[in-house]
């Protein structure tokens, strides 16, 4: 799609997402159009297959001030007063009619930078505004190229931190941009920074008000460089929306109260709405959160700083983190470097301060709204159940495993995707200091941690396991396989 009135259509290059077109975030300028007439190198990479090298032989190189190729062979032959062999003549001819790689690459980079100007950056022959996310734009372009589905579907995924949500998002991405010749089954997957804008733009029934995520000039799902793009409608999409980090509050306050109306809207169009989340065994969840965001002093060197609190002292302020993520988002705090993920209390205007565990009943009630509730121990069943309830295109068991496999290739071992984002890395002192193992903790620390999770997170996890048995057929007793004492207490 061209932007503006002074644009000229360009040849269709490969898009940054591997498709054959892109309609969002692209500025085809006149300067970029003039790039076609300049000599450009032939490349075998997808980003340059559309660029044709038009060589004028040695005259073009001489005009550009580049020494003619193959002169070394001629000079050596003249020095030895010997004629060139047939192979040398062929090699010399090939060198004369192909540009030096380093000079051509420099020339291409310079021409692209000059064509795009200062406000845009060059990417695969396109001039893209820095505010545009190429992945999102390509997903939007791909959804427009797909034929409308027989029935629209919407997946609302509540991604609670450190419960396996990154694995779910990777699986969704593989349904949008499949590899290994697999079929595409989703129109697009909306990540949490764009979730509020997408939902408010598509569904007028949501009480969004003046949403700060969609005002002009902000990072907008359908806007790039101030230009509005044509967009698909919800009844033409099979789409997944992630609610993570700060977007969880929008899910609780705006989406959940209108969930019944959303379901009725899709049912009227012959579609479906699926709500999904994952919860995790409380002890392993706390250990994973501590390893991800150990409390440190931000001003210290990344290489030398150590945790300011040990695991037991930090865990005292984390009672009810999963309860707060479901039923009291206002009491959940995330300060990655100072305190990590923890809960707080609300004391304003209250005779008694309200804590996260006081919202346990609301969190358990919230579980009944989810169509798919899983745990990391039964991730495969949760993904298959989500695909079935979304009415995605059916595929063979081998293709399904390939889509969920952690390694590419049909002949590789069947290992499930395992996405493990990190905030600290090996080589930093805090990395080793925060590697907590349950088996290595002393008895008093174990008792203290069990007391923390026993306040409310353990009761929520029991309810999640019951809901998982209802939403994941055939997985009775298989969604809790952890090695902590919590497993035996739930047996």
112-152 pLDDT tens trace? 555 555 555 555 444 555 545 555 555 555 565 566 667 99
Domain boundaries along the sequence of the chain: 153-280+369-390, 282-365+427-471
Tell me what the mean pLDDT of segment 230-245 comes to.
Answer: 86
181-201 pLDDT tens trace? 888 899 888 889 888 888 888
pTM: 0.74
Secondary structure (3-state) at 340:
strand
Tell me what the mean pLDDT of segment 241-267 comes to.
Answer: 95
Over 90: is that where the pLDDT of 390 sits?
Answer: yes
Q: Which of 208-212, 221-225, 273-277 has the lowest mean pLDDT?
A: 221-225
Nearest to 463 by CA among 333, 345, 328, 327: 327
Over 90: is that where the pLDDT of 107 sits?
Answer: no
**Predicted pLDDT of residue 310:** 92
Instruction: Please give the Cα distance from 299 to 108 (Å, whole number).
Output: 42
Work out whether strand 227-228 and strand 340-343 pair parallel, antiparallel, or are unpaired.
unpaired
Nearest to 457 by CA among 327, 352, 333: 327
Q: Is the dihedral of CA 23, 27, 29, 31 positive or negative?
A: negative
Per-residue pLDDT band for 424 (boundaries 50, 70, 90) equals confident
Per-residue pLDDT band for 168 (boundaries 50, 70, 90) equals very high
List helix spans (H) across 239-281: 247-250, 259-268
> Largest Cα–Cα distance in the chain?
105
Work out whether strand 223-224 and strand 238-244 pair parallel, antiparallel, or are unpaired.
unpaired
């Amino acid at each position: 799609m061209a932007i503006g009135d002074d644009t000229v259509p360009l040849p269709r290059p490969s898009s940054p997402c591997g498709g054959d077109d892109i309609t969002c975030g692209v500025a085809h300028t006149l300067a970029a159009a003039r790039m076609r007439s300049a000599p450009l190198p032939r490349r075998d990479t997808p980003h340059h297959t559309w660029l044709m090298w038009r060589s004028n032989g040695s005259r073009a190189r001489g005009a550009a001030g580049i020494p003619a190729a193959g002169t070394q062979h001629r000079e050596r032959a003249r020095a030895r007063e010997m004629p060139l062999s047939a192979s040398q003549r062929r090699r010399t001819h090939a060198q004369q009619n192909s540009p030096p790689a380093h000079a051509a690459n420099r020339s291409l980079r310079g021409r692209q930078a000059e064509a795009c100007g200062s406000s845009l950056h060059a990417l695969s022959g396109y001039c893209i505004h820095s505010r545009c996310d190429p992945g999102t734009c390509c997903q939007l372009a791909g959804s427009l190229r797909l034929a409308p589905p027989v029935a629209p579907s919407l997946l609302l995924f509540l991604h609670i931190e450190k419960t396996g949500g990154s694995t779910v998002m990777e699986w969704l991405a593989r349904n949008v941009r499949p590899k290994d010749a697999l079929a595409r089954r989703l129109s697009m997957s909306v990540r949490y920074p764009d979730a509020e804008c997408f939902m408010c733009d598509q569904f007028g029934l949501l009480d969004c008000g003046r949403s700060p995520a969609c005002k002009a000039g902000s990072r907008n799902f359908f806007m790039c460089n101030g230009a509005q793009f044509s967009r698909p409608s919800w009844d033409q999409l099979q789409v997944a929306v992630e609610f993570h980090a700060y977007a969880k509050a929008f899910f609780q306050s705006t989406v959940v109260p209108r969930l019944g109306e959303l379901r009725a809207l899709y049912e009227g169009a012959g579609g479906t709405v699926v709500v999904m989340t994952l919860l995790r065994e409380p002890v392993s969840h706390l250990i994973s959160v501590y390893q991800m965001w150990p409390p440190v002093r931000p001003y210290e060197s990344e290489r030398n700083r150590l945790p300011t609190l040990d695991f037991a002292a930090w865990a005292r302020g984390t009672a009810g983190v999963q309860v707060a993520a479901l039923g009291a988002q206002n009491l959940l705090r995330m300060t990655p470097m100072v305190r990590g993920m923890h809960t707080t209390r609300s004391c304003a205007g209250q005779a008694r301060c309200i804590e996260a565990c006081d919202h346990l009943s609301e969190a358990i009630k919230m579980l009944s709204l989810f169509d798919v509730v899983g745990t990391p121990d039964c991730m495969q069943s949760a993904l298959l159940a989500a695909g079935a309830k979304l009415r995605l295109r059916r595929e063979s068991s081998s293709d399904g495993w390939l889509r969920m496999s952690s390694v590419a290739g049909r002949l590789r071992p069947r290992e499930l995707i395992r996405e493990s984002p990190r905030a600290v890395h090996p080589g930093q002192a805090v990395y080793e200091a925060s590697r907590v193992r349950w088996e290595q903790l002393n008895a008093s620390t174990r008792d203290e941690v069990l007391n923390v999770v026993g306040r409310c997170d353990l009761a929520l996890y029991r309810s999640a396991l019951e809901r998982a048995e209802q939403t994941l057929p055939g997985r009775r007793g298989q969604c809790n396989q952890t090695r902590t004492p919590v497993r035996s207490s739930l047996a």
